[in-house]
Structure 1
Amino acid sequence: MGRNLQNGDRLRPVDLARGHGLSTQAVRNYEEAGILPAAGRTPHGYRTYTSLHAGALRAFLALVPGHGHQTATSILRAVNENAADEAFRLIDESHAQLLDDRRTLQTVESALGDLEPARAPGVESVPAVVSGPGDTFIGPLADRLGIRPATLRKWERAGLVHPRRDPITGYRVYGEADVRDARLAHQLRRGGYLLEQIAPLIAQVRAAGGLEPLEAALRDWHGRLSSRGRAMLNGAAELETYLRQRG
């Protein structure tokens, strides 16, 4: 189907590679992975490419920033196998993930008001005295967050939460502040942040460093989501051009 739309200009592997800042081996790898349609061959067995292959390569490279290498590969492979509906499904899944990440960010931002307790003017901030109604234990908190108790223990070792110990049983007791920190750590982990990146944010906020460290992280998170969204638009435009080439 696509062969009738290819022009008569033949491109060598090196031509296709140089035009996109790649090595000739990368181009061959992309063909073997199904990202590019199968190349033509000269009577001597050398690969030849056309504008259709160039269109496929442009589409793939444009899709990668928004969808990732693996999904972009699957999208192009589906298109080249005449399974456009599968390609569209993969794109829909990426957009759904982006929307979910935006909702996660909104959830983190909505908790900002709880991160810095109100205080009277001129009064030093003091740790809150946690009483019974806000207390919980490791099992119920893990269930609430949808994680394993072992994860909470790992976060404790990383300095993300500081539960106290019951003087009689020795059990970990999570007060309201600990629950807040655990929820914040959970949301930031979902946003792609590493424990070593999260720990200083929570520690600085907890130590009256203000909300600036967290706000800077959220601004960066906003920027990354916006970049992914724009990259998806650019990838969609190049993919549409390639689909039109194929006919």
Structure 2
Amino acid sequence: MGRNLQSGVKLRPVDLARRHGLSTQAVRNYEEAGILPVAGRTPHGYRTYTPLHARALSAFLALVPGHGHRTAASVMRAVNEGEVDEALRLVDESHAQLLDDRRTLRAVEDALRDLEPTAADASGAPDAPAATFVGPLARQLGIRPATLRKWERAGLVRPRRDARTGYRVYDEADVRDARLAHQLRRGGYLLDQIAPLITQVRAAGGPAPLEAALRDWHGRVSARGRAMLAGAAELAAYLRERDEHDA
């Protein structure tokens, strides 16, 4: 592996702890978890660390906000075991998940936008029928009636039954929910991914009150992206120092 990781400047556990706002026990725990390289030992058995350990700890703490504790720990363990390609694969997976989150957010926004009142509605023109049946609604959406019944079993729509005929009757809220489900299904989302959103729309009384939630979602996605950039910079610095140390 090259020169011993503990050569050069020696640092105590408390030095790393104070520098990063941690307890000495946390530093020891991170070492035992493989997040830090193995510490050196004094003749009396006390742990000693080096600036490389400090860089590793900085990299890990920078990775956590963007990738989460578990992935950040796995990345650091892979690096410290010499499996850099595996570490980079884990980072790539997190970036792919963030991209999926962005696509989901966009799909949700597009679906909710499609539910906004049309210009004709706003002008006072006659509204669409307040209630409809499974066949007309399926034709309106371009799907089969069996699909609507499947969505009903999944809880995406909740039509009532006509007391006289027993037919399913979809009111305005049901039509809204069916349109939202249709948009998200076209975006490739599964029924169990769609159900929580529709539940939120119902609880909010419609899509309009979700605007604040979507803004918050945007903020969290952007913050995670920025955190990933910061984590990548610290990880790159650690990899560079490791390479120089082992040369």
| Interval of TM-score (by shorter of Structure 1 and Structure 2) | 0.7 to 0.9
Whether the 8 Å contact between 2:62 and 2:234 is mirrored in structure 1 is yes
> Is 1:163 aligned to residue 164 of structure 2?
no
* Unaligned residue ranges in structure 2 (runs of 5+): none
Q: Distance in 2 between matches of 1:17 and 1:243?
A: 21
In the superposition, relative to structure 1, how do residues 120 and 224 fare at CA in structure 2: closer, same or farther (>3 Å)? closer
2:147 to 140, 143, 156: 140
Question: Once the two structures are superposed, what CA deviation does each residue of 1:152-192 show, in whole Å capped at 9, x if it has no partner?
Answer: 34x7xxxxx532235455879795323135468997x859x
**Which residue is equivalent to 2:131?**
129
How far the C-alpha of 1:214 sits from its partner, in A, is: 1.7
* Percentage of matched positions with identical amino acids: 62
**Which residue is equivalent to 1:158?**
none
Report the AA paired with residue 232 of structure 1: M
Q: Distance in 1 between matches of 2:149 and 2:233?
A: 43
Report the AA paired with residue 229 of structure 1: G
1:239 to 223, 235, 242: 235
**Which residue is equivalent to 1:73?**
73
Please say which of residues 79-88 and 173-182 is displaced more in the overlay: 173-182
The equivalences for 1:101-112 within 5 A come to 101-112=101-112
The equivalences for 1:40-55 within 5 A come to 40-55=40-55
In the superposition, relative to structure 1, how do residues 103 and 120 fare at CA in structure 2: closer, same or farther (>3 Å)? closer
Q: Distance in 2 between matches of 1:127 and 1:200?
A: 25
Report the TM-score when normalising by structure 2: 0.77
Whether the 8 Å contact between 2:17 and 2:24 is mirrored in structure 1 is yes
Question: Once the two structures are superposed, what CA deviation does each residue of 1:180-233 show, in whole Å capped at 9, x if it has no partner?
Answer: 35468997x859xx95x9745444453xxx72x222111111111111111111
**Which residue is equivalent to 1:114?**
114
Whether the 8 Å contact between 1:12 and 1:47 is mirrored in structure 2 is yes
> Is 1:177 aligned to residue 183 of structure 2?
no
In the superposition, relative to structure 1, how do residues 44 and 141 fare at CA in structure 2: closer, same or farther (>3 Å)? farther
Whether the 8 Å contact between 2:78 and 2:86 is mirrored in structure 1 is yes
Number of residues of Structure 1 aligned to a counterpart in Structure 2: 229
In the superposition, relative to structure 1, how do residues 27 and 142 fare at CA in structure 2: closer, same or farther (>3 Å)? farther
The root-mean-square deviation of aligned C-alpha atoms, in Å, is 3.5
Whether the 8 Å contact between 2:131 and 2:170 is mirrored in structure 1 is no
1:214 to 200, 206, 210: 210
Q: Distance in 2 between matches of 1:28 and 1:138?
A: 61
Please say which of residues 126-135 and 226-235 is displaced more in the overlay: 126-135
Whether the 8 Å contact between 1:5 and 1:245 is mirrored in structure 2 is no
Partner SS for 1:130? strand
Q: Which has the larger radius of gyration?
A: 2
Question: Once the two structures are superposed, what CA deviation does each residue of 1:23-64 show, in whole Å capped at 9, x if it has no partner?
Answer: 111111111110000000000101111101101100000001
Please say which of residues 164-173 and 38-47 is displaced more in the overlay: 164-173
In the superposition, relative to structure 1, how do residues 164 and 44 fare at CA in structure 2: closer, same or farther (>3 Å)? same
